[in-house]
Amino acid sequence: MTLLTTWPESGPGTVLRRTTDPAEIDAVLAPAGVRYEQWPLREGPEEPDPEAVLRAYGDAVDGLVAAEGFATVDVVGLRPRKDLGWRLTAKAERKKFLMEHTHDDDDEVRFFVAGAGAFYLHIDREVHAVLCEAGDLLGVPRGTRHWFDMGASPSFTVIRFFHEEDGWVGNFTGSDIALKFPDFDALMATRGTSVLGVGQ
């Protein structure tokens, strides 16, 4: 279930909005050009294989590619494992995406096949945390300040859509705003509560 939490950009002391209602989430994000959809989940392998994932969602993927003119589609994911190499890689990836950035030439469009992750959108002096889970598609328009958190123990599989063949290219703003707001793990831990404060 998607969770949207909105705070003023000054910090998370005041929760302006907290909802799991898909219609309300869409109504809040759409004016900023953010694409939010929920796709029906499909049967797939327990250990995600990119080709199998793309086969399972072929019609939905093809429809979005045709409508939006995406040049590249791929599948990426991380799963908790005990080997040290994975932990180091996941930690480095998390740190990179946690820094506020924009994209000049592409939207950031992700469909969550499994697991969860949180996009933070810095729009019009507010920060919207969108906790996405399996079945959620989120499209962050180019030029939008944002960051992404996969948590301390990432577990997700996403289909990524790119207009540019270069893939993910971020322009970091240099702001430390991401450090002020509850992280992915705090969002997950407080989904059943009505108040969400600083979680870091």
Binding residues for Ni(2+): 101, 103, 108, 146
List the binding residues for Fe(2+).
101, 103, 108, 146
Residues whose CB falls within 8 Å of the CB of residue 163, separated by 6 or more in sequence, listed in order:
68, 69, 70, 71, 105, 106, 107
List the binding residues.
101, 103, 108, 146
Phi, psi angles (nearest 5°) of residue 131: -85, 105
3-state secondary structure of 65: helix
Structure letter (DSSP) for residue 18: E
Q: Strands 35-38, 101-102: parallel, antiparallel or unpaired by DSSP?
A: unpaired
Q: How far apart are CA 23 and CA 59, in angstroms?
A: 24
- CB-based contact 111:42 (threshold 8 Å): no
Rounded to the nearest angstrom, the gap between the alpha carbon of residue 35 and the centroid of all alpha carbons in its chain is 12
- CB-based contact 133:36 (threshold 8 Å): no
